[in-house]
Structure 1
């Protein structure tokens, strides 16, 4: 059956799915079969056992992750020390941190600026190595801001 996650509580590691049949089903994290943690709004495919959802899989994401992945990787390579790739992916706080550390790093003989440049290069490599779906799940849906 297909449905949508209405709620997921990190504390109890459980949530509620609204099935396409109009019913609601409870689920535990042990039934989650996808890489990224469940999040409200995720579309899912699952089996039903009474009032509980089992064997829950996140539905594949729509195309577009590849273009976001390539753009983020290019920004990380060319403007990564300024945090451009972070701003592009919606991580404003992390982008500001990278920008300020890079700019004020020159006061400390450039060492912080070099470190930020290395971090940006590592993220460039990680973006390229991940598959389109894995990139989308990790950085867009999963909202993982660092590495």
Structure 2
């Protein structure tokens, strides 16, 4: 059966799916079989036992993809080329670290750290990178 995730609460570890037949089904986090966390609007394929959904997977007929908010390749290249002044931090929303890089750019420490971060951004997968970005970085969060 196919449907759309209506809501999911991480605290309660419960959510609801609206099936294409018009019925709503409850599910728990342990029923979720996708690499990304459940979000409202996700198209899914699932089985039911009457009122509960289980064995939840991505809907294979859906053209829905994970929306990329920022590019890991762009972040990696910015870190390698302009990391000494923290441009990659500004790009990713961690502007507090960007300011610290500007203050200490004369020490070359930000450039060395940015080189490591740049290589890291380039070798991790897009899914892992997007999951880290979904945590809404604060100004002084390190996006490792």
TM over 0.5: yes
- Structure 1: distance between partners of 2:89 and 2:23: 39
SS in 2 for 1:45: strand
User: Across the two proteins, how many residue pairs are aligned to each other?
Assistant: 135
RMSD: 3.1
Q: 2:125 matched to which residue of 1?
A: 131
Shift, 1:52, TM fit: 1.2
Describe the superposition over 1:54-107 as per-residue Cα deviations: whole angstroms up to 9, x where unpaired: 111245853885x9332232122223344433444xx42x1x11211112236x
Please tell me whether residue 24 in structure 1 is matched to residue 24 in structure 2: yes
CA separation in 2, counterparts of 1:98 and 1:12?
A: 34
* Runs of 5+ unmatched residues, structure 1: none
2:104 is the alignment partner of 1:105: yes
Query: Cα distance 1:132–1:105, how it changes in 2: closer, same or farther (>3 A)?
Result: closer
How much has 1:26 moved relative to structure 2? 0.7
Corresponding residue for residue 81 of structure 2: 78
Distance change in 2, residues 1:21/1:53 (3 Å) = same
Q: Any residues of structure 2 matched to 1:39-50 within 5 Å, and which?
A: 39-50=39-50
Quickly say closer, same or farther: Cα 1:10–1:62, change in 2 above 3 A. closer
**Against the structure 1 CA distance between its residues 11 and 71, is the aligned structure 2 distance closer, same or farther, given a 3 Å change threshold?**
same
Q: TM-score, normalised by structure 2?
A: 0.70
